[in-house]
Chains A and B, each alone.
Chain A
Amino acid sequence: MEAGRYRKMKKGIEALGLQVLDHVSCVGNGVRMVLSAFVYLPYCIKARKEVLRQLILCGQKSFGVTSTVALFTGMILALQSGLLLKAYGQEMRVGFIVAQTMFREMGPFMTALILAASVGSSMAALIGTMKVSQEISALEVMSIDPVKFLVTPRLMAMMIMCPVLTCYTDLLGILGGGFVAYTQLDVSWSNYFENVRFMLNEKELYVGTFKAWVFAVIIVGISCYQGFVTQNGAVGVGLATKRSVVTNFLVVLVVGYIITRLFYQ
C-alpha cells in the first residue's frame, strides 16, 4: 500500500520532470531559431519582395480588427477613468490617463494580441502545413535554410509593422478617448489634448516602441517555431495553430509586465 503510493508519486514526479525538461528544451530551440533568423537579416535585401509581401499581409490581416479594438479600448479607458475622476472633480485629467495607459500598456499589448491571433496563427498554420507536406524537407534538400527563407522575412516585416501598428493603435485609442471625454464627460477637445501632450515625452514613446519590437520578435518566434515542430498531418497543424496563439498570449502578457516594471520603478 505504502510502496504503491510511493511508486506512484515517484512516477508522477518523473513525468513532471520530463515535461519541464521538454519545455526547457523547447524554449532553447525556439531561442536558437530566433537568433539564427536575426543572423540572416541581411538576406532581407535579397528577399525584399518577400518582405514587402509579408508587410502587406501583416497589415491587411490585422488592420480592421486593430482599428476597432484601438478605438474601443480608448473609449472604455476614458469612460472608466473619467467617471472615477469625475467623482473627485478631476475629469479634465482624463486625457492624461488615457494617453499614458495607451502608450505604456494597452497600445503595444492590444496590437500584439491581434497580431498574434491573426498573423501569428497563420504563420504557424502555413509552416505547419509545409512541414507535414514535406515542403520543409524539400527546402532542406535544395540547401535552402528554412529559417532563413521563411522566418527572416517574416521577422523583418513584423519588426517594422508591429511598432507602426502600435503607434496607430495609440493614436486611435486616444482619439476614441477624446470622443468619450467630449460627449460624456464634458471635457473640451483642446483641454483633452493638452493633457495628452503633457503626458507624451520621449520615454513613453521609446518604451512603447521597444515593447512593440520585443512583441514582434516573440510572436514570430513562437508562431514559426510551433509551425516547425508540427507533426501528424492536418490534426497537427490545427494543434500547432492553437498552441501558437495560447503561448503568444501568455508570453506577451508576462513580458509586457516585466518591461513596464523595468522602465517604471
Chain B
Amino acid sequence: MITFSHVTKSFRNQRVLDDLSFHVEKGETFMIVGPSGTGKSVTLSHIIGLIQPDSGEITVNGMTLNNLKKEELRALRQKVGMLFQGGALLNWMNIFDNVALPLRESTNMPEKEIREKVRSVLDILGLEAAAGKMPSEISGGMMKRAGLARALITEPAIMLYDEPTSGLDPVMSRRIDSLIGEMKLKFAMTSVVVTHDLVSALNVGDKIALLSGGRVLECAPPGEFLESRNPVVRSFIDSQFSIKKEFAKAISER
C-alpha cells in the first residue's frame, strides 16, 4: 500500500531523511516510533504529498508520488486522511462545522446528509456535547478527537496519525488506541501511526519501526521488536519502561 525506497530529504543543510525505506501492507497498522526531531512528521507529510522528496521513490496505493499532477494529488488525498499533531482545527468555526468542512467544501452532499454523518462521527468519538463549542473552548484531548473526526468523515482508505495520544491521559490514550484498532477491523483501513508512546505502539501495531537519524533502524512486529538487539532500539525501549521498573524496585524495597 505504501512504499518508501531510498528516500532522502534535506531542509537547507540539515538532512532529515537519509535513505529511508519501508513498506506498509494493505490493512496493516504501521507504527513509527523514535526520538523527537528525527523526521517522523516529515515522513508522514511525504505520504500525503505535502513535501516532495529530494531523491528516492514513494508509492502510495499504486501511485508514484514524484511529480504528481494537481488532479492526481487530489485523487490521492481523497483516499488518505491525516490527523495533525495539534489537531489543526480552524479556530473561527465550532467543532461541528470543522468536522463538516471537508464534506461541505469538496463534495456536493446535501446539507441534511452532512449533518447526519457529522453527528454519527461525533457520537463515535464521544464529542456530541462539544459539537457547538469553539476549538479554543475544549481540551487538548478533545481537539485531537475533533481532528480525528474531521479526518475520518471522508472515510479514507489510509489514515495517518501524528502522535494521536501525546498529551492525553492514559484512559483516553487507550480509547484512541482501541479506536485505531476498530477502524482497521471495520473499514480494513491501512494506518500509519507516529507515536512516542511505546505502550500504544505495542497495543495496536502490526509492525513497529524505529526511526532514528533519518532511517529505519528496526522494523518488526511488537513481539520481535521488544527482543531487538540493536542498541539504539534497546535504549529506546528501556527509556520507556525504566520508570516502571524503578518504581517496582522502590516499592519492593519498602
Contact = CB atoms under 8 A, between A and B. Distances in A.
A138 interface: yes
Nearest to A141: B82
A258 interface: no
A135 B147 CA distance: 11
Contact of A144 (B45, B82, B85, B102): B102
Nearest to A50: B92
A164 B79 CA distance: 45
A203 to B, nearest CB: 41
B138 interface: no
A256 to B, nearest CB: 32
Contacts of A133: 86, 88
A135 B90 contact: yes
Contacts of A134: 84-86, 88
A144 B74 CA distance: 9
A142 interface: yes
Interface residues of A, number: 12
Contact of A142 (B45, B77, B85, B86): B77
Interface in A124-147: 130, 133-135, 137-138, 140-144
Nearest to B50: A137
Residue of A130, A138, A143 contacting most chain B CB atoms (<10 Å): A138
Interface residues of B, number: 22
A233 to B, nearest CB: 12
A149 interface: yes
Contacts of B45: 137
Nearest to B80: A141
Interface in B79-119: 80-82, 84-86, 88-90, 101-102, 105-106
A167 to B, nearest CB: 29
A135 B82 CA distance: 12
B239 to A, nearest CB: 27
Interface string A36-48: 0000000000000
Contacts of A141: 48, 50, 77, 80-82
A35 to B, nearest CB: 16
B80 to A, nearest CB: 8
Contacts of B86: 133-134
Given A137-B50, A138-B84, A144 B89 contact: no
Residue of B74, B101, B147 contacting most chain A CB atoms (<10 Å): B101
A264 B106 CA distance: 48
B50 A143 contact: no
B105 A144 contact: yes
13 contacts: A130-B90, A133-B88, A137-B50, A138-B84, A138-B147, A140-B77, A141-B82, A142-B101, A142-B102, A142-B106, A142-B154, A144-B101, A144-B106
B136 interface: no
Contacts of A144: 101-102, 105-106
Given A130-B90, A138-B82, 16 more contacts: A133-B88, A135-B88, A135-B90, A138-B88, A138-B150, A140-B50, A140-B77, A141-B77, A141-B80, A141-B81, A141-B82, A142-B77, A142-B105, A143-B77, A143-B78, A144-B105
Nearest to A53: B92
Given A137-B45, A137-B50, A143 B106 contact: yes
A242 B84 CA distance: 28
Contacts of B101: 142, 144
A137 B84 contact: yes
Residue of A134, A141, A142, A149 contacting most chain B CB atoms (<10 Å): A141
Contacts of B106: 142-144
A135 B89 contact: yes
Interface string A97-141: 000000000000000000000000000000000100111011011
A58 to B, nearest CB: 15
A142 B45 CA distance: 13
A144 B106 CA distance: 7
Interface in B21-62: 45, 48, 50
Contacts of A138: 82, 84, 88, 147, 150
A61 to B, nearest CB: 14
A87 B48 CA distance: 73
